[in-house]
Amino acid sequence: AEVVGGGDKEVVREYFNNTGFQRWKKIYGDTEDVNRVQLDIRLGHSKTVESTLMMLKDEGSLEGVTVCDAGCGTGSLAIPLAKEGAIVSASDISAAMVAEAEKQAKEQLGSSEDSVSPAAAMPKFLVKDLESLDGKYDTVVCLDVLIHYPQNKADGMIAHLASLASNRLILSFAPKTFYYDLLKRIGELFPGPSKATRAYLHSEADVERALQKVGWKIRKRGLITTQFYFAKLVEAVPM
């Protein structure tokens, strides 16, 4: 049933603290207990993270660059960014996700002499929805979060994220172009009750308009697709 009055966020928080946490931790992990679809989504998502890192490094070293990773999940991007020497603030609406990201960061970044990446500073982790983040960062990144919100909410989220960034904003979202195809595939693969929260797709034009309204323009675009995963990746800069 439709939730009235800003309920999307509460539903999303609840989902990512419970069943969604279990499901996505598995997909974003490296264990073998995933099915064919989950494995495909894991691959697609890892490509998004990889493309984001490439976009970020394109402009030069990340050493000392401040990055806000809004909706950090289990730390798939925050941890490699820290390894590149970035000063990372990673936050998520889900306390379970933040705890998992922190645990993985400790395992992967360590704090001792034998640390894999001696240059890496531990990201700063925070349980916070992106709408209430503040501060200013060289770069703000928000991957695969907008899918949980309709465009009318996404507009405000994009504007807020842009207000936190001095140089660039990187966003990924599920493009509307694939809507029917996606629905068809999901329908075929997941008959019966829905296994996830509602998914909202966004047209690139709508995202671009939301950015333009606050004085930002898209500088780079990428498209990541596997069989079951679709993401449009955009890098925006102030006009």
Name the residue number minimizing CB distance to ligand SAM: 73
Binding residue for ligand SAM (CB under 6 A) from 65, 67, 72, 207?
Answer: 72
Residue 16 touching ligand SAM (CB under 6 A): yes
Rg, the chain, Cα only: 17
- Using CB under 6 A as the binding rule, whether residue 202 contacts ligand SAM is answered as no
The closest of 148, 157, 161 to 73, measured between CA atoms, is: 148
> Mask 132-171, x = binds ligand SAM (CB under 6 A)?
-----------xxx--x-----------------------
* Cα dihedral 188, 190, 196, 198 sign: positive
Helix axes 36-58, 19-28, angle to 10 degrees: 70
Shortest gap between Cβ of 31 and ligand SAM (angstroms)? 16
CA distance 77 to 82: 9
Would you give the DSSP letter of residue 214? T
Figure out which of the listed residues 71, 80, 123, 175 binds ligand SAM, where binding follows CB under 6 A: 71
In the complex, minimum distance from the CB of residue 201 to ligand SAM, in angstroms, rounded to a whole number:
14
Interface of this chain with ligand SAM, residues 88 to 127, rule: CB under 6 A: 92-94, 97
- Helix, coil or strand: residue 144: coil
Q: What angle do CA 109, 95, 75 make, to 5 degrees?
A: 30
Residues lying near ligand SAM in the complex (CB under 6 A) are found at 9, 12, 16, 24, 28, 70-73, 76-77, 92-94, 97, 129-130, 143-145, 148
